[in-house]
Structures are given as C-alpha cells and as structure tokens.
Amino acid sequence: MELKLSVQPVRDADCDLMILPVRLADLKNESDRSAALIEADAMLDGALLAASQDENFGAKAESMLVLHTLGKMKAKRVMLLGAGSRSEDLRMACGKAVKAASKLGAKRLALAVPEFMLERQLRAAAEGALLGAYCFNDYRTGKAAEPRIPASLDLLLPAGTPDPSSREKIVSDAAALADAVNWARKLVDTPAADMTPTDLAEAAASMASENGLNAEILTEEDVRARGLNLDMFLAVARGSHEPLRLIHLSWTPEGDDAKKPPLALVGKAITFDAGGLSLKPSAGMLWMKTDMAGAAAVLGAMKAIARMKPPFPVHAWMGACENMPGGNAYRLGDVLRSHCGKTVEVHDTDAEGRLVLGDMLALASDAKPAAVIDLATLTGAVAVALGLYNTGLFASDDDLCRDLMDASERAGESFWRLPLDERLRPDLDSPVADMKNLGDRYGGSITAALFLREFVTPGIPWAHLDIAGTARSKTARGYLDVGASGAGVRTLVEYVRMLSDRHQTAGAS
C-alpha cells in the first residue's frame, strides 16, 4: 500500500473511503472538532454527527462508524475512527481501519490528519495503516489468494500546517519501519518446511545485500574449522536432518565511528521446535514455527537500522537450527561445553533455546560490545506471568533497562521488567557440571534469564526480552491478524534511534 502526503481539504479528496480520526471531545464540543470533521459533516448535511449520536458512537479506541456519502462528497464513504488517547491506540485504530477498508473493497483511502495529531501521532497513524495492510496469504488458492489490500492511502494535512514537507521524513521513516516489521512477520508466519535454517540464512543474506549490511553465514563445517567451540548450539541441531546455520550480520559506519564498541543483538532462531527427545505434545508443537521470532525481530530491526545508518557499529548473531528427536539427538544427562567454557548438564531437551542463545551471547561478548540485547520466545512461564500483551524484560544494567523501557513506550510496545532474583540461582546448580539447563517449576522465566546471564561477560550491560507471549497474536485485533506480531522490532529500532541521537549530541559538544 502506497502512502502519500498532501495538504488538501476533505472536499477535494477523491477516494473510496475517507477516514476521520476523532476523540470523544470532538463529538461533545464543537470547539474541539477538526476542520476536516466540520467540513465532512457540513457536506453530509449534519448526517455524520447525527449518526454518531444515533449509533452511540463514543469514539472509543478502534471503534468505527461508516456512512455512504451518496454522492455528496468525492469520497464514496466516510469513516469516523476512534483515535483513543495514546499513540498505540491510534496505531491500532488505523490498522483496523485499513483492514475494514479491505473488506469493503476500498482501494483508494484518505485519512484526514486532525490538528490534534502531532509528529508522534502522525508516525503512529502511518505505521498502523501499513501494519494493518499486512496479509499472509501465500498458501491460499483461488480468490482467497488475491490480496484485497488498498492500493494507496493519502494522508491529508490540515490547511495551514507549517512546513508540511518536514512531515515527509516522518512518513517515510514510518513506512520503512512498517516494512521491516511486516517482513519479520512474514518470516515467522512461513511454515517451518519453507523456513528452514538454510532458508532463514538465505533470507538474512539477501536482505543484508540489498541494504548495505555485511553478512557472514557459517555452516557446521565452518564452525568446527574455526574452532568456535559452540557445542551447545551443535548439540541442539544434531537431531534434525536440516543443517544448521550461524548467521552474523553487521552494520559498520565509516571513519572513526567504526572503532566504537558495537551494539550486539542476539535472536533465538529455532526454526522448528519439536522439543527434542523431551517431545512436546501435538497441541504445543503446532505453533513452533514461531520459535524463531526472536531472530526474525533482530533481522527486521537490522533491515531498518541499515537505512538509519547509526554512528556506531551494530552486530547481530543468530544460531539457526531445528530441535528434533532424531536418532542422533542430544540426550538428557549429556554435559555440553559452551563457547565461554562453562559446562551445562541437560535436564530437558525442550529447554534448547537457552543453550543456543548461551553460545550466541558468549560469541557476541567476544566483540566487547557496549551492550547486548537478546530476544527469544523462551518460556511459557512469562506468558503465565504477564499474559499475551506484555514482553518480559530482564536486565543486568539499570540504565540499559530504562532506555529500553523508554524506547518501548515510544514505539508502542508493552514491556514489563522482571527481576533477576539471585535466590533462584541455586535452582540451576548441577551435581556434575557448572549448571543445568532447567530450573525449578516456579519462576521459570527468571531462572531462564539467570541461565542466559552466565554467558555474557561480566561488566557488559545485557538485557533479555522474553517474547514468548507477544510474538504471536491469538486473535485479530487492531493492525494484527492471527499470527506473527513482529514483537520487538519497533523497540529495537527506537532504541537505536535514541542511541544515535545521543552519539550525535555528544559528538557535537
């Protein structure tokens, strides 16, 4: 869907659907109404506001009221859209509006940007609309395979908008970010048979080539030849016929900026998780194509970061493999030696993500990064604790935690900090190795985070995002369909934007 920005009155917009974001105050107080709402209502002889009263339209976030204009406007239909009070409300509402427009068969949309929309709200509206245009129908046939996505959306700025051209960068940035999120969603939604470790590595390499990133893809033979000592990663991959891939992407700026300590991103890339010998039940296995959502988020973020060109290096590591119960699968009771030398006794082969991540975190630590952030669909326990709308955040560094919380709020993603409770660390003690890969039943997301922390070099700020509850939406809502959400991409990109501003400010002083 193409986004366009212009300054024109509602009466001149020739489209299939005119979208008017409104708040409750707009309906109650004439003085609060946007010029677009006043103009549209006048052209419809007062029918728009009258209908809002008759239908008890209260402008609640994501609520919609659609009227046919019967030729009184160039727009064929007009929609009142509840904008809510937060940027994320508006983002969700605009996504839902685009999905509704698709069902109406509307191809040309216009959204009248009201005066109350500041730059952040404009960005949210543009992002939400494009996120709502995402449609995964690659495996449908016949008419169901035909996309009904609107072709275009005109964002109409109100008359008198100062320097409207300055809004163009906001819209173009929003479009680039939404494209990155939707690409990550597609990676996750693709069935595991067509998104093997090799497929994921090829997608990463192709994206890197198109966006000016460096890509290094290693096979198992490469890993062994280089003596990387990634025994935990290699062990998890053993049970599958699909070969593993070690994916390393990097952005490096020019000049002295290239010498700055990099930001390291690590994503869990289990392209299908059957549980290994600790086999999952069928119901628990159905959605395990999503177990690489952490890697997809990192890849999506890197796609957007490449366009941003931050003044510091950014590296991404992902160990891509399947966790299958083959004849050569790793066993309970095995002791594995990690990249950093620590040994781990296997108590559950379905706690495989932390093993692969442990090796990737140790590998990332070798680069002496300024900070390490990992994303993973790691534990069902985090969803039990926080539900399906909040990502669990663990951090060894309070400043990094605050920055990520700030970035998540700006990006419209909900994070909740959970404790790295040292009292649970003994749950990981092993009688035969440095530790085991599974703690007690209680506090499972905490012990998983404590396990990961063991592989980050002490002193390096580290954060872990457990997206097990947020990586996939169980229901269609707002800009989301049932399926991949792209959780984490927007926050990572916003965090890099914040760091870039900070570096540039420091460089100018």
- Whether 162 shows a pLDDT value over 90: the answer reads no
User: Do 327 and 299 share a structural domain?
Assistant: yes
Residue 149 or residue 507, greater confidence:
149
What pTM value is reported for the model? 0.97
Distances (CA, A) of 424 to 379, 438, 508: 16, 11, 45
User: Looking at residue 494, which CATH number applies to its domain?
Assistant: 3.40.630.10
74 tagged catalytic: no
Beta bridge partners of 17: 77, 109
Query: Is residue 100 located within the same domain as residue 192?
Result: no
Predicted confidence band of residue 146 (pLDDT cuts 50, 70, 90): confident
Whether residue 166 is contained in a domain is answered as no
Residue 145 has a pLDDT of: 73
Look over the chain and give the mean of its residue pLDDT values, rounded to a whole number.
Answer: 96
Q: Is residue 167 assigned to a domain?
A: no
Query: Taking residues 453-479, what's their average pLDDT?
Result: 98
Mean pLDDT of 169-186: 97
Residue 323 belongs to a domain? yes
Tokens of 283: 């119901």
Regarding whether 253 and 388 lie in a shared domain, the answer is: yes
At 176 the pLDDT is: 97
Give the pLDDT of residue 341.
98
Distances 437 to 228, 347, 442, 465 between C-alpha atoms, Å: 21, 6, 15, 18
Same domain assignment for residues 205 and 130: no
Residue 340 lies in a domain: yes
Contacts of 154 (CB under 8 A, 6+ apart): 4, 5, 6, 13, 15, 108, 109, 110, 111
pLDDT band for 166, please (50, 70, 90 cuts): confident
Whether 441 and 315 map to the same domain: the answer is: yes
Q: Which residues pair with 5 in a beta bridge?
A: 155
The mean pLDDT value for 3-10 works out to: 92
Active site residue 280: yes
Residue with tokens 């890697």: 295
3-state secondary structure of 315: strand
- Residue 163: predicted pLDDT: 79
For the stretch 89-110, pLDDT in tens is 999 999 999 999 999 999 999 9
223, 367, 423, 475 from 370: Cα distances, Å: 25, 9, 28, 38
Residue 193 sits in the same domain as residue 125? no
Give the pLDDT of residue 244: 98
Give the active site residue among 74, 280, 425, 477: 280
User: What pLDDT shows up at residue 148?
Assistant: 79
Asked if residue 410 has pLDDT above 90, the reply is: yes
| Mean local confidence (pLDDT), 296-321 | 98
DSSP class per residue in 323-375: E---TT---TT-EEE-TTS-EEE-S-TT--HHHHHHHHHHHHHTT--SEEEEE
> Domain limits at 227?
177-508
How many domains does the chain fold into?
Answer: 2
Q: Give the rounded percent of residues in the chain with a pLDDT score beyond 90.
A: 92
Per residue in 218-272, pLDDT (tens digit) is: 999 999 999 999 999 999 999 999 999 999 999 999 999 999 999 999 999 999 9
pLDDT, position 144: 73
* CATH number for 15: 3.40.220.10
Q: How far apart are CA 456 and CA 22, in angstroms?
A: 48
Is pLDDT at 508 greater than 90 in this prediction?
no
Strand pairing class (472-473; 152-157): unpaired
Q: What is the pLDDT of residue 509?
A: 67
Q: Same domain for 300 and 442?
A: yes
- For residues 492-496, give the mean pLDDT: 98
Q: Which of 306-310, 496-500, 505-509 has the lowest mean pLDDT?
A: 505-509
pLDDT class of 161 with cuts at 50, 70, 90: confident
What is the pLDDT confidence band of residue 165, given thresholds at 50, 70 and 90?
A: confident
Q: Which of 91, 185, 354, 410 is catalytic?
A: 354
User: Are residue 127 and residue 244 in the same domain, yes or no?
Assistant: no
Q: Are residues 240 and 136 in the same domain?
A: no
CA contacts within 13 A on the Cβ side of 70:
6
